A and B are shown apart, each in its own frame.
Chain A
Amino acid sequence: MILDKAADFDVRKYLRLEMMPHFLCPGCGHGIALRALLWALDELDQDKDKLAVVSGIGCAGRLSAYIDANTFHVTHGRALAYASGLALARADLRVVVISGDGDCLAIGGNHLIHACRRNLNLTCLMLNNEVYGMTGGQVSPTTSAAMLTTTTPLGNSEPSFDACALAAAAGAGFVGREVTYHLPKLKELIKAGLEHPGFAFIEVLSDCTEIFGRKNELGSSAEMIMRQTSDLRPSAYRDTVEAPFRPNELATGVLARNDRPEYGTAYRNAARAIKAAAERRGGK
Chain B
Amino acid sequence: MSGPKTSRSSLEGEKNRPAAAAAAAREPMNVLIVGVGGQGVIMVSKALAWLAQSKGFEVKQSEVHGMAKRGGSVFSHVRFGAQVFSPTIPQGEADILVALEWAEGLRWLPYLKAESGIFICDTKRIVPPFACLNRRPGAPLRYSRETPAEVKAHVAEGYAVDATAMAERLGNERAANVVLIGALSSALEFSAAEWEKAISAFVPKKTVAVNLEAFRLGRAWIDEARTESPQAEASPEPRLPGAEAPVQVRLEITRAWCKSCDICVKVCPERCLRLDAERIAELTDPAKCTGCRLCEFLCPDFAIRVHREASPERDGARA
A259 to chain B, nearest CB (A): 32
Interface pair A6/B267, CB less than 8 Å apart:
no
Asked whether A20 is an interface residue with its Cβ less than 8 Å from the other chain, the reply is yes
Chain A residues within an 8 Å CB radius of B261: 26-27, 209, 220-222
Enumerate B248-305 residues with CB–CB distance to A below 8 Å.
256-257, 259-263, 265-267, 291-293, 296-303, 305
Q: How far is the CA of A145 from the CA of B262 in the complex (A)?
A: 28
A181 contacts B by Cβ under 8 Å: yes
B216: Cβ under 8 A from any A Cβ: no
Task: Decide if B152 is an interface residue (CB 8 Å cutoff).
Answer: no
How many B residues are at the interface, by size bracket? 20 to 34
Which residues of B from 218 to 269 have beta carbons under 8 Å from A? 242, 256-257, 259-263, 265-267
A137 within 8 A of B: no
Please tell me if the beta carbons of B298 and A20 are within 8 angstroms of each other in the complex.
no
CB neighbors of B among A1-33 (8 A): 1, 3, 6-7, 10-12, 15, 20-22, 24-32
Give Cα A12–Cα B301 distance, bound, in whole angstroms: 11
Q: Which one of B266, B300, B305 lies within 8 Å of A30 (CB-CB)?
A: B300
**B308 interface residue, CB < 8 Å from A?**
yes
A15:B260 contact, CB within 8 angstroms: no
| Chain A residues within an 8 Å CB radius of B262 | 27, 220-222
- A7 with B300, Cβ < 8 A, contacts A27-B259, A221-B263, A222-B266 known: no
B residues less than 8 Å from A32 (CB atoms):
297-300
**How far, in whole Å, are A7 and B308 apart by their CA atoms in the complex?**
8
With known contacts A6-B293, A32-B297, A35-B297, A12–B263 Cβ distance under 8 A: no
Query: Are A15 and B263 interface neighbours, CB within 8 A?
Result: no
Bound-complex Cα distance A26 to B256 (A): 13
Min C-beta distance of A228 to chain B, whole Å: 11
Q: In the assembled complex, how far is the CB of residue B47 from the closest CB belonging to chain A, in whole angstroms?
A: 41
Residues of A with C-beta under 8 A to B266: 220, 222-223, 226
Q: What is the chain B residue whose CB lies nearest that of A186?
A: B297
Task: Kindly identify, within residues 23 to 69 of chain A, every residue whose CB is under 8 Å from any CB belonging to chain B.
Answer: 24-32, 35
Q: Could you list some 8 contacts between A and B, CB below 8 A?
A: A3-B291, A12-B302, A27-B263, A31-B301, A32-B299, A35-B302, A222-B265, A225-B267
Residues of chain A having any CB pair with chain B under 8 Å: 1, 3, 6-7, 10-12, 15, 20-22, 24-32, 35, 180-181, 183-184, 209, 220-223, 225-226
> B residues bordering A, Cβ < 8 Å?
242, 256-257, 259-263, 265-267, 291-293, 296-303, 305, 308
